[in-house]
Chain A
Amino acid sequence: MAKKKAGKPNVQSGVTWRNAFKRDWQLYMLLLFPLAMVIIFNYAAYPGLRLVFMDYKPAKGFEGSKWVGMETFAKIFRDADFFRALKNSIVFNLLDLLVGFPMPIILALILNELRYPKFKKVTQTILYLPHFLSWVIVGAVAYSMFRPTTGLVNIALMNAGMIQEGIPFLTEKWHWAVTYLLVGVWQGMGWGTIIYLAAITGISGELYEAAMIDGANRWKRMWHITLPGIKGTVVTLLIMNLGRVMGSNLERLREFGNSQVRDFQYQLAIYIYDKGLGGGKFSMSTAVNLFQSAVGVVLVLLADRVAKKLGEDGLL
C-alpha cells in the first residue's frame, strides 16, 4: 500500500502486443471463455439472417431454399396481421412507457423523503418482490384477483354493494388493456427505484443544507435539487427504454392472454412466434423480427443523438 503509484504499469498506448500479452496473458486466457460463448451462441446466429432474402422451407434447409430478394418484405407489408401486431405493439409499449416510466421516479422521490430508516427498508424490500416473480405467477395472481365472478376484487366490490355484476377486468379488451398496463407498472415500479435511489445518494448533501437555509421547503428541494440531480440517470434510462418500444414480452402476453382479448394481445412477439415456430413461415417471422430489432437499434441511436444535442451525457 505504501508504494502507491511507484510502479504503475504503462497504460495501453505504446505497449506492443507481444509485451501486453506477456504481461497479461492470463487475462486474455480468461477472455477466451466469454468470447467463445458469444461467438458460438450469438455471432454464429447472424448468418442465419440471410433467410429473410429466401423463401425458406424448414424441410429443404438453406441449400434447398430459393433466393427471393426483397419478396419477403413485400409479403409482410401486404400482411394485415403484421400491421395489427405492429399497431398493438407500438400503442401498448408507448403506453407502458408513458405510465410505467415516471412511476419509479415518483416512488424513488417518495422513498427518499421517508423518515424512518426501518420503515423505509422493510417497505423497499416488499416493493422489490414482484420483480422477482415470473409472469406465470404474476398472471395467475392477476387472474385470481380479477376474474369476473370468482376474482377477489370483484367479490369484494360486489359484497360492498358497489357493483351488481363482476367487472370483466381481463375478459373485455378495453378493461384488459388497463389491467395489463397497470399490472406491468406494479411489477416493475419497486425495482425501478433502485437505480434512481442510487443516483440520489450521489447528490451532495450541502446542496440540501444550503437550500434549507434559504428557506426552500420539501417540494422545492425535490423539484430544484433532487430532480435535476437525477436528470442524467433519467435520460439514460429513457433512451434504453426507447429501444424496447417495438418488442414485447412473449411470456407476459401469453399469461395475460385469452380468446376474448386477442384483438389487443396480438403483438409482434406473438406474431413472430406464431408465424415462425408455430406456423412454419420462417422467412416472414425472421423478417419481422429483424425489422423489430433494427427499429429498436435506430431508436436508441436517435434518442442518444438527441440527448447529446440537449447537453446530456447520452448512453453510448
Chain B
Amino acid sequence: MAKKKEEVIRGAEVSNEGNRAINKFRVSDFVMMALIVLLCLTCILPFLHLAAKSISGNTYVVAKQVAFWPKGINFDAYVSIFKDGGLTYAMVYSIVVTTIFTALGMLVCTCAAYPLSKKRLKGRTFFTFALMIPMYFGAGLIPSYLLMDKLNLLDNMWVLILPLIYSPYNMLIMKTSLQTSIPDSLEESAFLDGASNLQILTKIVLPLSKPVIATLSLFYAVGRWNSYADNIYYIQTDKLKMAQYKLAQMVSSANAAQTVSLSEGAAVTSTPEVLQSAAVMVVTIPIICIYPFLQKYFVKGVMIGAVKG
C-alpha cells in the first residue's frame, strides 16, 4: 500500500518535470512568483522591523526613523530584560515545562497510536472511539477548573503539563502515519522471528518513524510554548507562569499606559516600545532556532499523516 503510493508520488513528480520542459516561462509565472514573494515579505518584514527597533537608540525610535535598519545600535533593552530576571526566569521555566511536556506527550501519543494502528487488535474500534471523544466534545472551562481543583493541581507546574499531554489530534496523525508508512510484512516477519510487540515497536517501528516523531514533537513543543490561556485559568503564583504570559502582560501594559513593568533593579533606560520589541524577540528566538532543524521533517511528517486523516 505504502509502496504503491510512493510510486504514484514519484510518477507525478516526473511528469511535472516533463511539463516544465515543455512550457515556457510566461507572464502568469511571473505574476504568481511576485505574489508569493509579496506574501513572504509580509511574513518577514514585521519581524525585521521589530528586530531593528529592539537594538536601536531611543531617540531614533521616538522620531519614527527606524524601519528595517537599526539606527544608533545598542543592546540596552536586552540588558535590562536580562537584569530584571523576571522574563529570563520565565524563559528557563518555560523551557523546562515545554521539554517535559513534549517528552511525556510523545510517550503517551506513541502508547495510544501504536496499538490502535494494529488492525488485529481486539476492541480497537471501542478504544479509538473512547480516545477520540474529547476532541469533539470538551467539558468546558469551569468543569475542568473544578476538576483541577479536586485533583489538587491548581497553582502547580503540572497543571500546565498533564491535562494536555494526550492530544487526540496528534494521536490521529501518528496512527495514520504508522499505518501507511510501515509495511505490515516487515512487522510480521519480525513477529515470526519471535520478537514481542514491544520489541517490534522500539527496534523497528520507532526508528522508521522519525519524520512523524519530529513533526509531532514540534507540534507539542510549539503548542505548549505558545499558549498561555491555561496560565490565566489555573496559575496564580508569579513564579509558575510561563514566558508567553509574562510577555502578554508586558505587551498589554505597554499598549495601555506606555510603560513596561520591570523591577527596580533592571534600571530601564529604553522606551517601552524598544523594550517591548526586545521582549518579543527574546521569546520568539527559541522557536526560530528549532524551526529550521525540524522543518525538513515536518512537511513530510504532516503529509504522511494528512493524506487520509
Contact = CB atoms under 8 A, between A and B. Distances in A.
Interface of A: 1-12, 15, 17, 20-21, 24, 26-28, 30-35, 37-38, 40-49, 51, 107, 110-111, 113-115, 119, 123-130, 132-137, 139-141, 143-145, 150, 152, 155-156, 186, 189-190, 194-195, 197-199, 201-206, 208-209, 212, 218, 243, 250-251, 254-255, 258, 272-273, 276-277, 282, 285-286, 289-290, 293, 296-297, 300
Given A212-B19, A212-B22, A297-B137, A194 B114 contact: no
In order of increasing CB-CB distance, the 5 nearest A-B pairs are: A48-B143, A205-B15, A134-B226, A289-B140, A45-B139
B226 A133 contact: yes
A6 B244 CA distance: 55
B229 interface: yes
B267 interface: no
Q: Main secondary structure on chain B at its contact with chain A?
A: helix
B283 interface: yes
Nearest to B199: A26
B122 A26 contact: no
Contacts of B276: 140, 144
Contacts of A300: 136
Contacts of A38: 130-131, 133-134, 166
Interface of B: 5, 8-9, 11-16, 18-20, 22-23, 25, 28-29, 32-33, 35-37, 39-40, 42-44, 46-47, 49-50, 53, 64, 67, 107-112, 114-116, 118-124, 127, 130-131, 133-134, 136-147, 151, 162-163, 165-166, 171, 185-186, 188-189, 191-192, 196-198, 222, 225-229, 232-233, 244, 247-248, 251-252, 255-256, 273, 276-277, 280, 283-284, 287, 291-292, 295, 299, 302-303, 306-307
A208 B171 CA distance: 35
Contacts of A255: 248, 251
Contact of A15 (B43, B53, B122): B122
A129 B146 contact: no
A20 B144 CA distance: 36
Contacts of B115: 24, 27-28, 30-31
B248 A203 contact: no
A45 B46 CA distance: 42
5 contacts: A34-B171, A37-B108, A41-B147, A141-B46, A145-B49
B295 A125 contact: yes
A24 B15 CA distance: 45
B139 A132 contact: no
A129 B248 contact: no
A190 B19 CA distance: 25
A48 B171 contact: no
A7 to B, nearest CB: 5
A239 B32 CA distance: 29
A8 B111 CA distance: 23
A124 B46 CA distance: 18
Given A1-B186, A205-B14, A12 B119 contact: yes
A133 B11 CA distance: 36
A26 B12 contact: no
Nearest to A131: B222
B71 to A, nearest CB: 14
B244 A136 contact: yes
A134 B130 CA distance: 31
Contact of A42 (B43, B120, B138, B252): B138
A238 to B, nearest CB: 15
B214 to A, nearest CB: 14
A143 B255 contact: yes
B8 A204 contact: yes
Contacts of A285: 141-142
Given A33-B107, A44-B147, A45-B147, A127 B120 contact: no
Nearest to A291: B140
Q: Which of A134, A139, A198, A273 has the most CB of B within 10 A?
A: A134
Contacts of A189: 39
Contact of A286 (B42, B110, B140, B189): B140
A246 B218 CA distance: 28
A41 B43 contact: no
Contacts of A113: 29, 32
Given A17-B123, A35-B131, 10 more contacts: A7-B191, A11-B120, A44-B147, A114-B29, A194-B302, A198-B302, A205-B12, A218-B28, A273-B141, A286-B143
A186 B42 contact: yes
Contacts of B37: 123
Nearest to A134: B226
